[in-house]
Structure 1
Amino acid sequence: MDEEDNRYIELSIPNREVKYIFRTKILKWFEEKIKTKDLSVLYAAIINKDSETFQEELNKLYISSELEMYSLFLCKI
């Protein structure tokens, strides 16, 4: 990815309902992941402004979470 491909955006939470969901669900999920995973590569990517590595590590967290949720769903069946 070269400099021309870099895009920086600022996100804002559009309303109270979405803010509530973000605080109760997404942050809770992320806090749980932080407790159980080695996130040193993710932190280093943030500090070094390495967006490509940051995206890769975030994707790993997301995929891992999706697989855990799917496994839990299968166990409930």
Structure 2
Amino acid sequence: MPPPKPDDPDLPLDVLMTIWPETVRVFMDHDMLCVGCMVSPFHSVSEACAEYHLDEEVFRAALAEAVEAAHRRWG
């Protein structure tokens, strides 16, 4: 099984934030309560964006930038 990717539409939020902890800041910057939420193992980015009325494309771009910035910083 290939490793998950941060842009996987079915990736649960808790897995996303565990593998790429740099994404936590993106959720917090958008005043989302997903960090530590009991339903984060069951929600995807799409569902969270719908719940918070966020533009999913813009939010995913912010997540991708956070992951990429961490890779540039830590190699």
Structure with bigger gyration radius: 1
Q: Which of the pair has the greater relative contact order for Cα pairs under 8 Å at 6+ separation?
A: 2
Q: Which has the higher helix share?
A: 1
Under a length normalisation based on structure 2, what TM-score does the superposition of the two structures give? Answer: 0.43
Under a length normalisation based on structure 1, what TM-score does the superposition of the two structures give? Answer: 0.42
